[in-house]
Every structure is written in structure tokens, then in C-alpha cells.
Structure 1
Amino acid sequence: MDIKPLVKKNNYSINQWWRLFATALGFMLFGLCGLIVLSILWFSLLRLFVWNKNKRIVIVQISISFSFRIFIRILKFLNVIQYQFDGLEKLNQDKSCLIVANHPSLLDFVLLASVMPRCDCLVKGALLHNVFVSRIIKTAGYILNAESEKILPQCQNILLNGGRILIFPEGTRTVPNQPIKLHRGAANIALRCHANIRVVHIQCDPPYLIKHQRWYDIPTQKASFKITVGEKILIDDFMDQNTTIAARRLTSYLTSFFTKSRIN
């Protein structure tokens, strides 16, 4: 009578140890490829042979998307995660808009960038101190939130040329079971650049690589990501002579959207 539960427990333990090993292997490959293959080799070649900065940024972003796509497929193959995109066709059609998403996991940007070959991103300036990603951020032309005086001109230039900008308005990863708090940066950029917003909801169950969670804290089950491309918010619906009031109203709307999506 006790054999089945015991076998199930042993299998579960083996599976969890395997995912720990596979996670370490996956991130080791990610770090080595990001530092050596992309940053040192490929980007150096691009700087030598592609002198036009805008063309170089396009190639770099496509390269990043391709490498991320390989990375998440490796994690899926190793049984570390599974993922599903809903409404991806809407995302592929978007131009000159902001892509605004919630931020439950460390893999959120990797997942979204893997399906968007051309996409700029607003990133933390503190990431420039990370040896694995600093050169990637600079070469890809990503927007640094630490350079506040450059943010709006960069965004306007990208959007006027049909580009998309990915923003996580929480500013950091979501703390599970805590109220969602958004900064007004995304709303201000949308209003001042007169750009529509495509909202994307990311769900991860069970929580994986969340804020304050160590990489080796492996969940009891394989993490499952569901990325839902939602509605497009027309910025004209929120325009107001008082930008501060408009930004507050738009941020409140986005907060309500992500809160309801998390409950559902």
C-alpha cells in the first residue's frame, strides 16, 4: 500500500534535482554565450564591418532575439520551463508603440525579446555594472533609465521610425501577493510621444526567478509561463492639457488592468 506514494516522492525528488542541474547549465551557457560569442566576438566584428550605427543596432537586436529564442528552447528541452504565447499576431503587427508588460520573473524580457526581433527596451542603468550584459545593452542601443535627459528624445526618435519600446512600469520584479505598483514613466513617455500602448500580461505558475528568490530555489513543479498579448490602448483616449493628470489616469488604468489580469 505504501509503494506508490514512495515511488512518487522519489521520482519527484529526482525531477527537482534534475531541474536544478539544468537551470545551472542553462544559465552557464547563457552567460558564456552572452559574454564570449555575442559581446566579444560577434559585436566586435559588427563594429569593424558595420559603421552605420543604426544598421548595427538593428543587426544586434535581431541577434539578441535569435539567441534568446535558442536559450528558452534549451530551457524547455531540459524540462526547466514551459511557455505559451497568446495573441502573438497582434504583437507582430505593432509599430510606433510602447509594449508595456508586468514583470513577475527574471525571464520576462528574455521571453518577450525572443519573439520581437526588433525592439528597444528601457533598462536599469545599474545593469551596466553587470559584466555579462553591459556591452549588450550599449551595443543594442537600449534606453537607460539613469539618463533621464536622454530618455524622451531617444524614445521619440525610435517611435517616429516605426520602432517599439518595451517597458516594465513596475521598475522591478513583482512581489507575489503584493499590490501592483507602477511608476508613471511609461505613461509619461506615451503621452509626450503620443504613442499607443500594447499591454502584455505575463503569468508564471509556480513563481520562478522572482524578486528575492535565489536561482537555486527550484519550485516543486516546472515553471509554466503564459504570455498574453492584450488590448491596445489608444493614447488619444487619455490626452489632457494637464500631462500630470493624464499620466496619473493612464497609470491607474494600467494598474487596474494588470491587477485584474493577475486575478483572472
Structure 2
Amino acid sequence: MQRANLLNRLWRWFATGIFFVFFGLGGLVLSLIWFNLLRLLIRNPERLHSITLNSIKNSFRLFLNLLRRVGVLDYRIEGAELFKQDKGCLVVANHPSLLDYVLLASCMPRCDCIVKQALLKNPFVRGVIKSAGYLVNTESETLLRACEERLKGGGTLLIFPEGTRSVLGKEITLQRGAANIALRTGCDIRVVYISCHPPMLTKQGRWYNIPANKPLFIIKVKSKIVTQDFIEANDASPAMAARRLTHHLRSELILKNNEK
């Protein structure tokens, strides 16, 4: 039994490394070949953008299904059909793993995303970010205007309000960016909780820190939060409303943490 477990762990270690390479090369193929081909064939900007996002979503689905098939990990998505209701909606999720965005983007009908500016220096994902039209986290006021425009255009904006992956054993701390975007645009917020047991691809761990057992990712798509409920009639301070909403989001995500 111990020998079988060791061989299984070694296989998952080897396959994880191979798939990291595969993921990077896939980004280059999409950027250098597929997206350029689409630009030559499709002249309508809206149709081009839609096909580009669908190409990314389907690539992520393929990547995750292959990871599942070779036994690196397993995953379950509960309530994915709720995303069909989320045009012009902000999707807020906790962030325990490097795969969180891939998991969500693979099941959302449309996924606009805010990415770190540093990722534009990564040759493997830079082309994908630019082709998809993802929003870059730069100057706050510029970003707020861009988010407002994207949401009013029917986009579904994914944001991880922790700003980075969670640290195991520490309580989550949320930045107020998600609340500010929701309050400024008046959009509702869809809460999503992600868990991974045993932990894999965490902030502290490297890709080669493979857990003893095959990890299971569970994505729970929860109910919406009505942003308007956090704006009090006698409160003229946007900062206070953002503080209330951020506190509520944190309590929601902590509550989901305790539901494991």
C-alpha cells in the first residue's frame, strides 16, 4: 500500500510539472497563432472578443479535464448554472490556490478579469491578457472607470478581494476594491467559495510540493448580494458604505470557510 501511494505521488509530481509546461506553451500557441488567425478572419470587434473569450474558456476546460483524467487532481463545481444570470455582475471569490481563476473562467459564460500589471511581463500569458481585454490593476480611478464601462456593457467581472492568494492558517483580509467597484457601478455581487483539500498550489507552496493524497477542488456558487442594501439614505460617505460592504463580504467568505 505504501509503495502504491508513493508511486501515485511521484506520478502526480511528474504530471504536474508536465502540465505547467503545457499551460505555458498553450498560452504561447493561443497568443502567437490562434488569436492572430482570428484577427485575420473576423472583422467584427464584438464577435472577435466573444470568440476570444470562448477560446480561453474552452482551453481551460481542456486543461482541467486532462489534469483530472491523469489523476493530478479532481474538482466539483456546484451551482455553475447561476452564472447565466450574471450579466453586469461582480463575481467575488476567495483565493486559496493558483488554479482558482482557471477553475472559474472554465465555467463562467463570460469572464472579465482584473490582473496584476506584473503579468504583462510574463511572455506566456501576456498575449492572452491583451487579446482577452482583461483589465490591468493600475491607477485606482482609471481602473474604476474601466470596470464601470465593462459592467455596464454586460460583462461579468471576476475579482479576488484578498488581492493575492490566501495564507494557510491566517484569517483572510479583504481590500476594499471590490466594494468600491460595486458601489460605484450599482451592480450586484455574486459570492463564490473555493476550497481545496488537501491544499495544493498555495501561496507558501511551490508547484512541486505535491500533497500525499489527490486534491479535490470544490467551487460553490452562492447567492447574490444586493449592493444597494449597503447604502444608507442618511449616509453621504462612500467610504463608510464600502467599509460595511467589505465587512459583509469577509463574513460571507469566512462563513463559507466554516462550511467545509
**TM-score, normalised on structure 1?**
0.94
State the one-letter code of the partner of 2:221. Answer: V
Equivalent residue for 2:95, pick from 100, 103, 106? 103
Match of 1:5 in 2: none
Match of 1:161 in 2: 153
Match of 2:171 in 1: 179
Distance, in Å, in 2 between the alignment partners of 1:199 and 1:92 is 14
Match of 2:24 in 1: 31
Distance, in Å, in 2 between the alignment partners of 1:150 and 1:199 is 25
Match of 1:253 in 2: 248
Cα deviation digits, residues 160-208 of structure 1 (max 9, x gap):
1222100000010001110100000000000000000000000000110
Distance, in Å, in 1 between the alignment partners of 2:213 and 2:190 is 31
Which consecutive residues of structure 2, in runs of 5 or more, have no partner in the other structure?
none
Equivalent residue for 1:201, pick from 155, 170, 193? 193
Distance, in Å, in 2 between the alignment partners of 1:229 and 1:106 is 19
What is the CA-CA distance between 1:126 and the residue it aligns to?
Answer: 1.0
The answer on whether the counterparts of 2:27 and 2:127 sit within 8 Å (CA) in structure 1 is no
Equivalent residue for 1:17, pick from 6, 10, 18? 10
Which consecutive residues of structure 1, in runs of 5 or more, have no partner in the other structure?
1-7
Match of 1:222 in 2: 214
The answer on whether the counterparts of 1:119 and 1:164 sit within 8 Å (CA) in structure 2 is yes
* Local SS of the residue matching 1:254: helix
Aligned length: 256
Cα deviation digits, residues 19-53 of structure 1 (max 9, x gap):
011111212211111112x0100111123233444
Shift in CA distance, 175/65, structure 1 to aligned 2, threshold 3 Å: same
Match of 1:191 in 2: 183
Distance, in Å, in 2 between the alignment partners of 1:83 and 1:147 is 36
The answer on whether the counterparts of 2:93 and 2:193 sit within 8 Å (CA) in structure 1 is yes
After superposing on structure 2, the runs of 4+ consecutive aligned residues of structure 1 that deviate more than 6 Å are: none
Distance, in Å, in 2 between the alignment partners of 1:183 and 1:54 is 32
RMSD value, Cα: 1.2
Distance, in Å, in 2 between the alignment partners of 1:253 and 1:173 is 20
Is residue 2:138 matched to residue 1:152? no
Distance, in Å, in 2 between the alignment partners of 1:157 and 1:51 is 22
What is the CA-CA distance between 1:151 and the residue it aligns to?
Answer: 1.4
The answer on whether the counterparts of 1:155 and 1:189 sit within 8 Å (CA) in structure 2 is yes
| Equivalent residue runs for 1:40-119 within 5 Å | 40-119=32-111
Cα deviation digits, residues 96-122 of structure 1 (max 9, x gap):
110000000000000000011411011
